[in-house]
Structure 1
Amino acid sequence: MYLLDTDVIWTLRARDAARSDEPLFEWIAGQIPSTLFTSAVTIMEFENGSRQLERKDKPAAAAIRNWIDTRLRPAFEGRIVAIDDTVVRRWSHLGYSDFRDGILAATALQHGLILATRDVGNFRTGKVKTVNPWSYAADADDLDWRRASRRPPVWLKSLFVRA
């Protein structure tokens, strides 16, 4: 089971993957949705980003706000991991200088999740299990079943792609 970092979810939001993001889309397409979690910290970052953008670009902020409410929250319903006392206690023992990274690390460790992030180097402290989906390479067995359909899984399209 995976805890998706903000960078993973934000990239999945994009309609068209950049060539450098193709491994991420291949990796996520092979995952079972019920095994993907996100942290309340990630939701907080999107909420904060929307509020900050509102001062500069109200239509863009409204689009992000709509995406948060109609796509992101429903996509992770029941799988948004809260920051509770056990996570805070774990965080206090890890010694991360960056609060956000420390809370994500503590959340992953406390709940036995693998942290999916582009920034795996930020999580060496505390022996957090990480995966960088951008460095994913499908093996031969993966390719066999994917050749049957050239389209991404419907769940991926319906959950993350902008309307």
Structure 2
Amino acid sequence: MIVLDTNVVSEAMKPRPTPAVMAWLDEQDQPSVFICAPVLAELRFGVERLAEGRRKEALSTVINTIESAFGERILPFDRSATRFYAQVAAKREKAGRRLEQMDGLIAAIALAHGAIVATRDIDGFSGLGLELINPFDLRGK
């Protein structure tokens, strides 16, 4: 199981996405690729910040399409994830390292499901006990 971070999903939404990311996504077994509720929240927040107009409408449509396409493969932040969130947030705090709230939520959901996180932000998720993959940089893989 792979959970896509927001930066991977938003890359795929671009008019001219990075070819390596799209190739990596195409290689994946689609039923094993998931997103989670915080990713949808971040995408929707990004769109809500835009001025009214065609771009905002187009991106809203794309997000609705993504939501429909993933359907049951959208993981919620549930009771199990709350335990993992507490652990990773405390671990980072004790280490004196900042943990972005959404990264913590995504990490907790992935840990609760034993999933790999696909992200460009390796540093943001490092040291949390997750297996990580960077589809933007797959040298040697």
Whether TM-score is above 0.5 comes out as yes
The total of aligned residue pairs comes to 133
Selected match of 2:52 from 52, 57, 69: 57
Give 1:125 deviation, angstroms. Answer: 2.6
Amino acid paired to 1:22: P
Selected match of 2:117 from 115, 118, 123: 115
Q: Which has the larger radius of gyration?
A: 1
Q: CA offsets, 1:2-43, max 9 Å, x none?
A: 0000110111112323xxx22212211111111110010011
* Cα RMSD, aligned residues only: 1.6
| Aligned position for 1:11 | 11
| Aligned position for 2:40 | 43
DSSP-derived class of the 2:57 partner: helix
4+ residue stretches of structure 1 with deviation over 4 A? none
Give 1:52 deviation, angstroms. Answer: 1.6
Higher relative contact order (CA 8 A, sep 6+): 1
DSSP-derived class of the 1:127 partner: coil
Q: CA offsets, 1:68-113, max 9 Å, x none?
A: 22x2112211000000111012101112432111111111111011
Q: TM-score, normalised by structure 1?
A: 0.75
Identical positions, percent: 27
Give 1:137 deviation, angstroms. Answer: 4.6
Q: Is the 8 A contact 2:100 2:124 kept in 1?
A: no
| Aligned position for 1:88 | 82
Stretches of structure 1 that go unaligned for 5 or more consecutive residues are: 140-163
Question: Does residue 104 in structure 1 map to residue 106 in structure 2?
Answer: yes
Give 1:58 deviation, angstroms. Answer: 2.5
CA distance in 2 between partners of 1:109 and 1:3 (Å): 10
Q: Is the 8 A contact 1:26 1:138 kept in 2?
A: no
Q: Is the 8 A contact 2:4 2:35 kept in 1?
A: yes
CA distance in 2 between partners of 1:30 and 1:138 (Å): 16
Q: TM-score, normalised by structure 2?
A: 0.86
Q: Is the 8 A contact 1:23 1:137 kept in 2?
A: no
| Aligned position for 1:132 | 134
Stretches of structure 2 that go unaligned for 5 or more consecutive residues are: 93-98
DSSP-derived class of the 2:71 partner: coil
